[in-house]
Amino acid sequence: MNKDQKQEAIELLKSKFTQYSNFYITNTESLSVAQVNDLRKVCFDKQVEMKVAKNTLIRKALESLDSEKYAGVLDSLHGVTALMFSDSPKEPALIISAFRKANNKLEKPVLKAAFVADEVFVGDNQLVALTNIKTKNELIGEVIGLLQSPAKRVIAALLEKGKKEEAAVEAPAAE
């Protein structure tokens, strides 16, 4: 790879890091070619972009953007690295978990780090926490449900009271 190709790769990575607010850094080293292809297909189907890049190029791209912001991520750049870019904060974590289960409880790909909504998660032990992150739409749905809940109870109580009053009025007339 010559200097121009390296600079082009760094610029491509920089554009991906600015385009997506969430990215995962994984290790796919011991996966077979077929397994990596399966993982890429699943990522494609779930609108998660997967890229393999050299650690030095990733480091240069992140450092040129904001070395302090990505400091926790930079420490994870060792070994074979695959990047997973997504608009969803938890979709890559779900993909990794499902991929492991589908491949007989395989422990790869290993999560090295994740950058989700300006927060850094380091280590494979963070995978469960990342799968439990709520997306923006899930949070909005919960807030709407919480706001509707008291109103639903009031309406249900009024309807119940109205039914009781109606039954009380009809009961003497039936006798």
Mean pLDDT across 20-32: 92
Pair 34, 112 in one domain: yes
Pair 70, 139 in one domain: no
Pair 141, 108 in one domain: no
**C-alpha to C-alpha distances, 90 to 42, 45, 138, 168, nearest whole angstrom:** 14, 15, 12, 54
**C-alpha to C-alpha distances, 57 to 45, 123, 127, 160, nearest whole angstrom:** 27, 21, 25, 66
Q: Please say if the pLDDT value at position 172 is more than 70.
A: no
* Residue 29, C-beta contacts closer than 8 angstroms, at least 6 positions apart: 79, 80, 108
Q: What is the pLDDT of residues 60-102, one digit of tens each?
A: 999 999 888 898 899 999 999 999 999 999 999 999 999 999 9
Measured over the CA atoms of residue 167, residue 169, residue 170 and residue 175, the dihedral's sign is positive
Pair 14, 92 in one domain: yes
Return the higher-pLDDT residue of 42 and 167.
42
CA distance 70 to 4: 25
Mean pLDDT across 27-46: 93
Alpha-carbon Rg for the chain, nearest whole angstrom, is 25
Residue span of the structural domain in which 140 resides: 134-175
Pair 142, 119 in one domain: no
From 145, 124, 121, 143, select the one nearest 133 (Cα to Cα): 121
Residue 116's SS3 state is strand
- Confidence class for position 159, pLDDT limits 50, 70, 90: confident
For the chain, the average pLDDT equals 88
- Confidence class for position 175, pLDDT limits 50, 70, 90: low
* Residue 129, C-beta contacts closer than 8 angstroms, at least 6 positions apart: 121
Pair 24, 105 in one domain: yes
Pair 113, 155 in one domain: no
Say whether pTM exceeds 0.75.
yes
What domain count does the chain have? 2
- Confidence class for position 171, pLDDT limits 50, 70, 90: low
CATH number at residue 110: 3.30.70.1730
Pair 102, 161 in one domain: no
Pair 151, 79 in one domain: no
Give pLDDT, residue 168.
73
